[in-house]
Amino acid sequence: MENHGSLKSYVTGFILSIILTIIPLLLVTNHAFSKGALVAAIITMAVLQFVIQLVFFMHIRESEKPRYNVFALALGIVFVITIVIGSIWIMTFNSVVQ
């Protein structure tokens, strides 16, 4: 049986996830920043949330076997970034044509 996280690491990850969810909510509801700064803060919290999920729940750093899961994750990230950037590019230039 492989070593999965301890209860302490799961609780720590859960609490950090909750905090990283509440911060953007409070920033939006309190109109704390301008629109651009608010988007940057939300994206930053989302990236931190992603890292927390990988470390505490998916145990990315704990494997001593070949890192196929890390390579698959990297490829997935490349796909997601390509799709998001491509979608933004298409929506931007599609709105200009009309």
The ranges of the chain with pLDDT < 50 are 1
pLDDT of residue 15: 96
- CA dist 81 and 98 (Å) reads 26
pLDDT of residue 1: 41
Say whether pTM exceeds 0.85.
no
pLDDT of residue 38: 92
Rounded to the nearest 5°, which phi and psi values hold at 32?
A: -70, -30
pLDDT of residue 98: 53
With 0-12 / 13-18 / 19 or more C-beta atoms within 10 angstroms meaning exposed / middle / buried, residue 61 is: exposed
Query: Quick one: which of 21, 11, 88, 92 has its CA closest to 57?
Result: 11
Q: Is the Cβ–Cβ distance between 52 and 46 less than 8 Å?
A: no
